[in-house]
């Protein structure tokens, strides 16, 4: 059957939106900023610009979620929250500890943060917009064959087993173990994106297992990252538009509740040991439910400013901007070079290799000494400012966005023919969604995961079959035109219009 264009694919789209959609977004953004300015007269030009950019990014995410898995918008939405919105709130509700307060006023901090965030967004979409904007072709998903289902289930089982023993792995094998453990998400996403009956139970198993395991350590960023990606895939499957906005509001609300109960939950883990992941998750869930049922998202005994610190990457970036170059000279690309080298060179060849979220780097560029074993990242735009200053940081952020954008395009183009590519894309790209990571944290993961993915893809026959691009189907003969009957991709998809 010949391919047909997606009903949303129109000529003349700019950055994936039509002129009518852009007009709607800009009108709604202007109205939203005007209402906020009327309610908060202290809002300055840069605050209004930053809030407006945030609204545009969220609206863009909602309008494009039905066309593809809008991963670039997820990255920038997280950046807007931590680099723009939370720092603005932090000015109104400062933290009790002076070290966590904004070292610069909004009109000194936001010109860099807002412009760099915009540069990141443009960079992420620039590679894809000309390639995907006017000729987007969607595959119609058909039921998976037994071979594909068994392969994806095997990935889930292997991932769960390896995750169980991941903590006992030697350091030099830790990343490989983490990547193999991520196969469980690939398997569940493969069932999910093809809408094969039974996908719900598999998604529930892997996500609840992740939440339970993460609860034992009181760390939840992986839950947020993977949960966000699964949400994007689900929105893409169901062709959401503005329903995505409701999901985002619910997600931010849940994240806020989680952050407010997390200190109490961590203290309870220290005071009273749990028997395992199930008990830890049950305790966390009951604490969150109790907080919501009390009708108070914020703990009455906790200061609002202290809670905002958990969302605010801006206090670190502002510290860097104040400290560099006044107290510490620009790094002039040295940390970027280190990130590139250490992403290629295996750790066992350089035993002294530092980790991305280095305490040394943090103190060097912020002037703040971290307590105990605490480690914090500089954040992408913070590290790039420390290297190149304001305009160099903005331009290098744009280049960083372009790099991730090209990687996204690599997966997105192939996903037009075989939706299982959306499942494997997450294992390589997901760390890019965290605004607080250092450059080395992200490049190290992306480079190594990318190499391992390519090796598996090219050398393992099962992976080749799962990710194969089927040829056009000859409707007269019911087989692939250019191949022998049956084997190509095991009937994963036929290339024609995605059903509404």
Query: Which three-class secondary structure string do you get for 259-313?
Result: HHHHHHHHHHHHHCCCCCHHHHHHHHHHHHHHHHHCCCCCCCCCCHHHHHCCCCC
For the chain, the average pLDDT equals: 83
CA 285 – CA 424 distance, rounded (Å): 30
The C-alpha angle with vertex 191 and arms to 410 and 255, in degrees rounded to 5, equals 80
SS3 17: strand
CA 191 – CA 189 distance, rounded (Å): 5
Amino acid 9: pLDDT: 47
Amino acid 471: pLDDT: 39
**Phi then psi dihedrals of residue 300, to 5 deg:** -60, -25
pTM for the whole structure: 0.87
DSSP of 25-87, one letter per residue? HHHHHHHHHHHHHHH-TT--HHHHHHHHHHHHHHHHHHHHTTTS--HHHHHHHHHHIIIIIHH
Omega cis (within 30) before 325: yes
Low pLDDT (below 70) residues in the chain: 1-12, 130-143, 296-301, 346-357, 470-500
SS3 18: coil
The H or E element containing residue 473 is strand 473-474
SS3 percent helix, strand, coil of the chain, rounded to 5, is 70, 0, 30
Q: Is 140 exposed, middle or buried (0-12, 13-18, 19+ CB in 10 A)?
A: middle
Task: Give Cα 95 to chain centroid, integer Å.
Answer: 27
Amino acid 42: pLDDT: 85
Amino acid 352: pLDDT: 58
């Amino acid at each position: 059957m010949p391919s047909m264009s997606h009903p949303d694919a129109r000529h003349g789209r700019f950055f994936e939106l039509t002129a009518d959609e852009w007009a709607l977004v800009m009108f709604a953004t202007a109205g939203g900023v005007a209402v906020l300015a009327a309610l908060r007269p202290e809002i300055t030009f840069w605050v209004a610009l930053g809030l407006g950019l945030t609204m545009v990014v969220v609206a863009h995410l909602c309008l494009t979620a039905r066309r593809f898995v809008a991963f670039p918008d997820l990255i920038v939405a997280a950046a807007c929250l931590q680099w723009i919105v939370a720092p603005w709130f932090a000015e109104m509700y400062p933290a009790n500890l002076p070290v966590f307060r904004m070292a610069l006023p909004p009109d000194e901090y936001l010109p860099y943060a807002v412009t760099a965030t915009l540069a990141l967004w443009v960079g992420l979409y620039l590679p894809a917009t000309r390639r995907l904007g006017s000729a987007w072709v969607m595959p119609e998903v058909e039921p998976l064959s037994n071979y594909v289902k068994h392969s994806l289930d095997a990935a889930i089982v292997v991932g769960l087993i390896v995750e169980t023993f991941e903590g006992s792995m030697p350091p030099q094998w830790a990343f490989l173990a983490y990547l193999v453990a991520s196969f469980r998400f690939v398997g569940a996403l493969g069932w999910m994106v093809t809408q094969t009956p039974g996908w719900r139970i598999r998604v529930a198993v892997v996500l609840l297992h992740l939440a339970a395991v993460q609860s034992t350590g009181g760390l939840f960023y992986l839950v947020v990252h993977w949960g966000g990606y699964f949400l994007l895939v689900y929105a893409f499957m169901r062709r959401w538009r503005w329903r995505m906005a409701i999901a985002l509001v619910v997600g931010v609300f849940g994240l806020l509740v989680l952050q407010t109960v997390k200190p109490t939950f961590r203290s309870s883990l220290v005071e009273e040991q749990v028997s395992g992941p199930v008990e830890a998750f049950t305790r966390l869930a009951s604490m969150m439910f109790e907080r919501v049922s009390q009708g108070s998202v914020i703990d009455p005994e906790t200061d609002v400013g202290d809670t905002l610190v958990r969302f605010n990457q801006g206090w670190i970036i502002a510290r860097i901007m104040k400290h560099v170059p006044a107290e510490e000279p620009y790094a002039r690309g040295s940390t970027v070079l280190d990130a590139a080298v250490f992403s290629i060179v295996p750790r066992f060849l350089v035993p002294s290799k530092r980790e991305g979220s280095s305490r040394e780097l943090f103190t060097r560029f912020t002037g703040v000494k971290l307590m105990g074993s605490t480690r914090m990242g500089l954040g992408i735009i913070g590290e790039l400012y420390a290297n190149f200053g304001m305009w160099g940081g903005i331009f290098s952020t744009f280049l960083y966005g372009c790099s991730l954008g090209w990687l996204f395009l690599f997966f997105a183009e192939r996903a037009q023919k075989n939706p299982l590519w959306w499942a494997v894309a997450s294992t390589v790209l997901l760390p890019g969604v965290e605004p607080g990571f250092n450059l080395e944290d992200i490049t190290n993961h992306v480079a190594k995961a990318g190499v391992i993915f390519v090796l598996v893809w090219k050398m393992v026959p099962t992976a080749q079959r799962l990710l194969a691009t089927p040829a056009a189907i000859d409707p007269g003969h019911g087989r692939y035109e250019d191949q022998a009957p049956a084997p190509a991709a095991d009937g994963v998809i036929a290339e024609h219009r995605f059903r509404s």
